[in-house]
Amino acid sequence: MRNYVQPGDVITVPASADIEAGDLVVIGSLVGVAAADAKSGNHVSLKTTGIFNMPKVSAQAWTIGAPIYWDGSVATTVSTDNDLIGVAVAVAANPSPSGQVRLSS
């Protein structure tokens, strides 16, 4: 294929802010988890597929398959003005600090 570029499960983008490894990065509809630390303006590799433990709204109980959104700091089941990032792949109790999310691609 002459038009093939790369697999796409890891992509490199410029960091718009200081980022730590494991941070969720949302750029428009692009969602990924930082593979390493990066300073603002430098490049950072994002893992765009896979299942990750994400900090969540503690008071929410998640069911498997529930759509999960990002409110800018934690994962939530509430969609109002939040970015869809994936689906829950394990039950997460109320209360609990984190839940497992399969990133949407």
If phi over 0 gives left and psi between -120 and 50 gives alpha, with beta otherwise, what is residue 68?
beta
Confidence band (pLDDT; 50, 70, 90) for 1?
confident
Mean pLDDT of the chain: 97
Largest CA distance in the chain: 51
pTM for the whole structure: 0.93
Radius of gyration of the chain (CA): 14
Confidence band (pLDDT; 50, 70, 90) for 105?
low
Return the bridge partners of 45, or none.
Answer: 12
Q: How many Cα atoms sit within 13 Å of 30 on the Cβ side?
A: 14
